[in-house]
Structure 1
């Protein structure tokens, strides 16, 4: 059994108010409370600067904890250890006696342990007949159990402070790197600015930082660096915006130059002036948006009865050929293109152009090849060629190359769209004739 919560030291050692406060606090620990001694010791090591103990004193405390049986410090089993100075010296790796006594006194003054001195100052324990420890004299570890939460909180707070310090140093390093790169970019740009002044400011802030610099010093330096980085970013942003405005002006001018204001997308347009190929069919389509089957058959009969056209009239401009085929005739010859139109159908030339872009991508025809065909043949005729290629896709190994060949022939005025559509009409008419 313990003799009480208050005891005085042996010999000439004086009793202090700090010792009395530690003994009172230790006496208020619930008997059933237990703490893992090694986890507690780890927290003490992390918070030693806050608690005010040295690493040598912690080595002595580690030796004292090693004399306590079990890993849990609990008041039910008693918290007094009673090793001799010789045994403590061995477990502290041969620490001298005077040094050992000095660090024991430091642990007592720090309130980590209490002295439970016997009448003669010796350390021992009285045991019962069954070997259980009764009253023991030595060092009481109950303050460790009483202040366990305090030690854990101090260790956590110190770890958070170290983490924040490390984070601020990392941010400072990143800020320095950003400024160096931005200064290099600013020197290479054409923006009229005083790079030398910015460089001198950066060099003043880039003085070597002490490894033991406080958090406040790091924060102050980081704020100054961040301000310089913001200034450099703003200057480069102005340069970027000015270049974007210049690029937009050039782009707008090029767009106006290459636009075709006379391009029309009627639901059923006629042919170009003087083409004469399908003028009758075009006029009938313009007169009636929904062409009856009889009129469509009449138009297709005219196409089949005419001889193949091997070349385009030289009077037509190469860059803007007129539409050669009415839309209903094209759709009857190339019905597959309608599946790729908006909502699965094609009602006007604009829908056909949209479907042609989709089919061109599906057939792996390059953008350059299709744009070249649009320039030479015209957008409507190029879309017509794409529709014809789609109908014969299983027989054409390279649709893109085939389109380039046709474009080259059209540039030499040796190709016309009408014979291609007429051939497809004849092929479909053999298997699925139009109703008369």
Structure 2
């Protein structure tokens, strides 16, 4: 028996006869009929699904559809005595994502087989929801059920954490390969200058870098090669020190064994010179010193060469960093001047839907900025895009624009098909001084 919104009971989740069920789809239907409903929230499930989506193979159009469906669910429908149901037609979803209805149907099937959704089909195939006018609960409804995702929340969190750890390990191994390969190349260059022959190590470096083995194994092999080259340098230095010690010993032995010959008359040939002239140094000619030639002699030779060849200007121009994008200078307290009419209270009043997903209001600006990682996931914004926005307009203004974008995407997903692109466009307008964020927030508060 499965609980349905409004307190009614139903012994099965109906599936239309035209659907060809697979074992994965049957498992999702079984999860949707579970009696031991797992306690969770819409925000927890939404963030977990977006983190686990890459590990589940959900991307592109399927991910876009998942994002829309999550936004259409009500936060109260995720309670244990209710059912998170979405009633939207394939045709409407096709309009939202700009794809055909067949593509939408395949994406929905993929979400069902991934254990996220379950079909709850009506006899006519229509999807609709009737709510109680007083309580707002679903009295009767057919559509797409998120109950499987709710039941698997702990499993999905484990999948997301494992995927994140694996991704970090791969990135770290890739960085190690780059770091070690550069260090080895530098050592080989120094060895060539010192006349140390390390052709075998150089060939091994090429073999390792060209191999198709995983980066973690490649980093281990490069680490061993690096240690071998360092050991070769140590052996070469020890041999050089041994040769120097032997030469010094031989010289000392010759000096100690050779007796002074007192009978030999010293034979010195000297050329008499004028002592006065020999002690005098030629003084530079004043005219020569003032000439360009003499002045050029006292300048640094490498700078003179660069000046003559014209390389100085070229080097300076190539060394100049690219011009940074314009930014909005902050006030003395670190806030943006564009936030003069925006308060945390106004943001709380205007972002009810976002607060329902995140599970609470924003107590302060610090609290808002502490939830930006969750807000980024809600709008699909990359970490690089967030950092770039903060560098251009500051963290406070970027956070305010981000939460406003999330609220607009949740309220009207069909009008905001790409929330991340909208956010970046707002940042550009803020840089140009054309962003009226307070007007958007007042409109959301009144709407």
Q: TM-score, normalised by structure 2?
A: 0.47
Q: TM-score, normalised by structure 1?
A: 0.48
Pick 1 or 2: higher relative contact order, CA cutoff 8 A, min separation 6. Answer: 2
